[in-house]
Amino acid sequence: MIDLLDRLARPFLYALEPEDAHGLAIRMLRFAPLPPVAGDDKRLTVRVFGLNFPNPIGVAAGFDKNAAVPDALLRVGFGFVEVGTVTPLPQTGNPRPRLFRLDADRGVINRLGFNSQGADAVLRRLAARAQFGGVVGINIGANKETPDRIADYVRLIERFAAVASYVTVNISSPNTPGLRNMQQAAVLDDLLARAIDARERVAPNAGPTPVLLKIAPDLSLPDLDDVVGIARSRRIDGMIVGNTTVTRPKSLRAMEQAKEAGGLSGRPLLPLANRMLAETFVRVEGAFPLVGAGGIDSGASALGKIRAGASLVQVYSGLVFRGLGLIAEIKDTLLAALGRDGQASLVDYVGADAAAVTAEPWPK
C-alpha cells in the first residue's frame, strides 16, 4: 500500500509548486486507507528519554506542523513523530513563495517563518489522539510579535506536557528574526531554567515529559561549548542537532534557488550536520542522548548519523526526494549492519565514529 501510494503520488507531487505538493501529501496521508502499525524487529528498539521507540527513525519538525497526521506517519513506519513547530497564537508566516526545491542538489530551502495554526488547534488534535499511544513529541516556538519569548515557551510546555511524549524547545529556526540569539549563553540559561521549572511544575498532573533542545548547525564551536555546558547544568533530557543552515555549501549546483533566503536542508546539509552532531556528542560525554537530523536520504546516511553520535534520527527533506520507501530502506540497512556485526541492538554504533568525524577538515 505504502509503495503503491508512493509510486502513484510522487511524479504528481513533483509537478506541483512545493508548498502545494506538501499540502497534498498531508491530505493523502490523512485519507489513505493505511494498514495498522506493523511491528518492527526488536533489534531496532531504542530506549532513551525514558521512552520506548520501536525504531529510531522519526519525522522531523515542520512536516506536520499542526498535528494533522501523526498517527498516519506512525502507520507508515516511523518510530516517532515530532509535530510542530507550534506557536502560542496562530500566525501565517512569511509571504509565498517560501519553499524551494534544489533538485540538482537534493536540497530544500525554506523561509516559512513558523506558519502555525496555534496552540489551541494543535492541542485539541493531540488530546484527541493521546490514548492511541506511539511516541509523538511537540516542537515549540515563540510568536514573531510576542512581547516575551521565554514566556511563550513556558506557557507551551505547561499546556502540551500532558499530551506530548516529549517537548522540543526550538530556538534554531533561521526564519524568525532574532530567534537564534536565544542560543546565546545568558538567554539560554534563563530559558532552560524556566523551561525545566515549568515541566516540574506540571509533572504531578501531566507525568514526566522529557525536554529537548534543538540547535542550529551554524553555531561556532565556542558557542557550542556554552550551549552544551548550559544544557548539562540545567539537566535537559537531550538535544536535536540540528536545524537547517543559513550557509550555502560550495558544492551547490542549483544556483538560482540557492540564492533564496532561508534555511537549507537535505543532502547538502549532511556534512555540516554530521560534524556538529559529532562535536556535540564529544562535548556531552554521555550526559544525555542526541537526536540527529540533517541530510539523511538513504540507509547508509542514517547509519552514518548514528555512528556520528545520534541515538535517534529524523528525516524531512529526504522524504521529498525518496518518498516513504526511505523508511524501509533505512530499517533494512540498519538490520543488515546488525546481522553482519552480530549485534543485538544499535547502542554500540552510537557515536562510534564521533571522534573520527571531529578530526576531519571542516566541511565547506
Ligand X SMILES: Cc1cc2nc3c(=O)[nH]c(=O)nc-3n(C[C@H](O)[C@H](O)[C@H](O)COP(=O)(O)O)c2cc1C
Q: Which residues are catalytic?
A: 173
Contact indicator for 38, 76 with CB cutoff of 8 Å? no
Minimum gap (Å) between residue 78 Cβ and ligand X: 13
Q: Could you identify the residue written with the cell 537534493?
A: 106
Cα gap 342→353, rounded to integer Å? 18
179 makes contact with ligand X (CB under 6 A): no
275 makes contact with ligand X (CB under 6 A): no
269 makes contact with ligand X (CB under 6 A): yes
Contact indicator for 185, 226 with CB cutoff of 8 Å? yes
Specify the residue, 200 or 237, whose C-beta has the smaller distance to ligand X: 237
Choose which of 295, 309, 351, 363 interacts with ligand X (CB under 6 A). 295
Minimum gap (Å) between residue 108 Cβ and ligand X: 4
Choose which of 117, 170, 274, 358 interacts with ligand X (CB under 6 A). 170
Only one of the segments 7-15, 156-164, 231-239, 309-317 lies at the binding site for ligand X (rule: CB under 6 A); that segment is: 309-317
Specify the residue, 135 or 269, whose C-beta has the smaller distance to ligand X: 269
Specify the residue, 252 or 345, whose C-beta has the smaller distance to ligand X: 252
62 makes contact with ligand X (CB under 6 A): yes
User: Could you give the C-alpha distances from 299 to 228, 311, 329, in angstroms and in order?
Assistant: 29, 15, 6
Only one of the segments 152-160, 294-302, 337-345, 350-358 lies at the binding site for ligand X (rule: CB under 6 A); that segment is: 294-302
Cα gap 320→62, rounded to integer Å? 13
Specify the residue, 61 or 227, whose C-beta has the smaller distance to ligand X: 61
Q: Is the peptide bond before 97 cis (omega within 30 degrees of 0)?
A: yes
Among residue numbers 310 through 349, which ones bind ligand X (CB under 6 A)?
315-318
What DSSP element (H or E) covers 29? Answer: helix 18-31
Minimum gap (Å) between residue 69 Cβ and ligand X: 15
**In this structure, is the dihedral angle defined by the CA atoms of residues 284, 167, 302 and 248, taken in order, positive or negative?**
negative
Cα gap 272→361, rounded to integer Å? 11
65 makes contact with ligand X (CB under 6 A): yes
Contact indicator for 217, 273 with CB cutoff of 8 Å? yes
Amino acid at 11: P
Number of neighbours of residue 3 by Cβ within 10 angstroms = 11
Contact residues: ligand X, CB under 6 A: 60-62, 65, 84-85, 99, 108, 110, 112, 139, 170, 173, 214, 243-244, 265-266, 269, 293-296, 315-318
